[in-house]
Amino acid sequence: VRTSIERQRYLIDFTLSSLLRRKTKNGGLLVIYTLIVFVLASVMFFTDAIKREASIVLAEAPEIVVQRMVAGRHDLFPQRDISKISDIRGVSQAGGRLWGYYFDPAVRANYTVMVPDEAVVAPGTATIGAGVSRARLVSVGDTVSFRSRDGSALHLTIGEILSSESELVSSDLILVSEPDFRSLFGLPTDYVTDVTVRVANPAELVTIATKITQILPDSRPILRDEILRTYDSVFSWRGGMMVVILSAAVLAFVIFAWDKASGLSAEERREIGILKAVGWETSDVILMKFWEGAVVSVSAFQVGVILAYLHVFFGSSAVFEPALKGWSSLYPDFKLVPLIDPGQLSTLFFLTVVPYTVSTIVPSWRAATIDPDAAMRQS
């Protein structure tokens, strides 16, 4: 066993000397390879972490949200129709929600204005999310003015700022009292924005949603499962921008593995010829090439994954930030909870390290099986 280990160590010594002889080429290769693993691992860490948080947090969202549709658009829901929903057998609670959007021209940001159901916000006051506080530079006790529907100013005193730990759900929220909400948007008292429905037995959800559309044909029920599925698909490996990022990275990797697999340089071919001439077996050459592939790919994989972890969980995914922020003036400052999925990590390992190592061995095997004299002459 000791002889075998010693033999492998001599091979690694030789391989490293061989790689260091072509420092610039192999150094460049290592940097590109590390960069590809870094991008792929960053996407993986980011999507996994955000999907996990969405699934935990939104598991408490209302079982059914019922919207009224007019001419294909979301419209206000008449209060009188709420009782038609709460009378359906299996519905434990149905209540109207009051919420809307307010565009603040001062900072060019969109806020979500809501009337809380349980927590009480006194008229004339508002509870704001940490993002709103940052955007408007306001804190508890300050007064903020909003332009009402009729052009008059609505002055609200900040009573509380929601904790920064909850920014992922509350960054742009402004919680106000019902009278303030109705006067801000000019909403009639007999209308709400939409209706939330609580159902005791989850098995009855689809049946109840079907009944709602039968009783109120102009309504659109949205099930909690659909909400959860939305967030699963937004950050899916198979959907949207992730496909663009991934396909670019995978394509770069394929090109560069293909370049490796398609042939050896004249110098490498001559090196193999000399090694064979001085007595190396074909198996020794293949083993040496295996180590060459393994040294580059394992180093790139490890460094790429560690850098990706630091980037996503300590550097706030700075590389993805421009795409995620887009046109937003108000962006939540949230820290993702780190998550390492061993299954995903092993998939990444087998997709990057194995093909590269194999693509290094194959052409060397072809060169190592021909006569050393011919190998040296061909170069």
Least distance from C-beta 54 to another protein, angstroms? 6
- Residue type at 255 in one-letter notation: I
Please pick, from the candidates 306, 319, 358, 376, the single residue that binds another protein as defined by CB under 8 A.
Answer: 306
Regarding 200 and contact with another protein (CB under 8 A), the answer is no
Regarding 190 and contact with another protein (CB under 8 A), the answer is no
Least distance from C-beta 300 to another protein, angstroms? 11
Inter-residue contact 192 to 79 (CB < 8 Å): yes
Please pick, from the candidates 80, 118, 217, 278, the single residue that binds another protein as defined by CB under 8 A.
Answer: 118
Phi/psi at 135 (5° precision)? -65, -40
Map 86-119 to HEC letters.
HCCCCEEEEEEECEEEEEECCCCEEEEEECCCCC
Residue 293 CB coordination number (10 Å): 21
Closer residue to another protein (CB): 188 or 240: 240
Closer residue to another protein (CB): 127 or 364: 127
Q: Give the number of C-alpha atoms closer than 13 A to the C-alpha of residue 357, restricted to the C-beta side.
A: 18
- Work out whether strand 73-75 and strand 173-176 pair parallel, antiparallel, or are unpaired: unpaired
Regarding 212 and contact with another protein (CB under 8 A), the answer is no
* DSSP string for 277-294: HTT--HHHHHHHHHHHHH
Please pick, from the candidates 56, 140, 200, 206, the single residue that binds another protein as defined by CB under 8 A.
Answer: 56
Please pick, from the candidates 139, 143, 201, 233, the single residue that binds another protein as defined by CB under 8 A.
Answer: 233
Regarding 109 and contact with another protein (CB under 8 A), the answer is yes
> What are the helix (H) ranges across 141-185?
167-170, 178-185
Please pick, from the candidates 44, 126, 161, 162, the single residue that binds another protein as defined by CB under 8 A.
Answer: 162
Regarding 65 and contact with another protein (CB under 8 A), the answer is yes
Regarding 117 and contact with another protein (CB under 8 A), the answer is yes
Closer residue to another protein (CB): 116 or 159: 116
Regarding 280 and contact with another protein (CB under 8 A), the answer is no
- Residue 317: left (phi > 0), alpha (psi -120 to 50), or beta? left
Please pick, from the candidates 46, 146, 313, 356, the single residue that binds another protein as defined by CB under 8 A.
Answer: 313
